[in-house]
Amino acid sequence: MEGGKYMTHHHDMSGKRIVILAADLYEDQELWYPYYRLQEAGADVTLVGPEATTYTSKHGYPVTAERTPDEVKAADFDGVIVPGGYAPDKLRRYDGILNLVREINDQDKLVGAICHAGWVLISAGIVGGKEATCYHAIVDDMKNAGVQYRDEPVVVDGNLVTSRSPADLPYFLPAIMAVLAGEEVAAV
């Protein structure tokens, strides 16, 4: 995995519209790295939270959700990314968030989840029978939800892209962009 199989690919994301979910105690790197990396590649990124308000990260950094789930439609987006930290435990409590993630998944569009974000996927009921990875603390939760767990930097199963922690971001984002570009993504 030295150097990463996807790291040399540069994808033009112009015209792609992506939702990144936000709530208090999000993991800074897992929200901001995808946010800026996708914008840099030309994507239109919308921050969505349970409320259109400012949330604070685990490390005290603010992010402002521009929209709520009731103000957006899954059909208008090409995918959703769920950052980790402890925000997923808060996000999973909102039906609007779960419905948005479920609808994007049902439309076979990108669902990216890193770290504790697997909790949102579990609550949305979309991971049963899928191959995925996550932060080690929620492996049992994922397995109990029917996930075929793999301890790898990035796992791609169709439209689902998962990673374990901030250290996996150099694998997570290139895999996300490959899926958005409609490319077949091979195992790392």
Instruction: Please say whether the dihedral angle defined by the alpha carbons of residues 178, 114, 122 and 135, taken in this order, is positive or negative.
Output: positive
136 catalytic? Reply is no
Cα–Cα nearest to 34, from 120, 129, 138, 115: 115
First-to-last C-alpha distance (Å) of the chain: 6
Which residues lie closer than 8 Å to 15 by C-beta, 6 or more apart? 42
Catalytic residue among 9, 10, 11, 115: 115
115 catalytic? Reply is yes
DSSP-derived pairing of the beta strands 154-157 and 148-149: unpaired
Catalytic residue among 10, 11, 59, 116: 116
Task: Report how far residue 81's alpha carbon sits from residue 66's, in angstroms, rounded to the nearest whole number.
Answer: 15
Quote the longest CA-to-CA distance of the chain.
42
Partners of 19 in beta bridges? 46, 80
- Which residue numbers are catalytic? 115-116
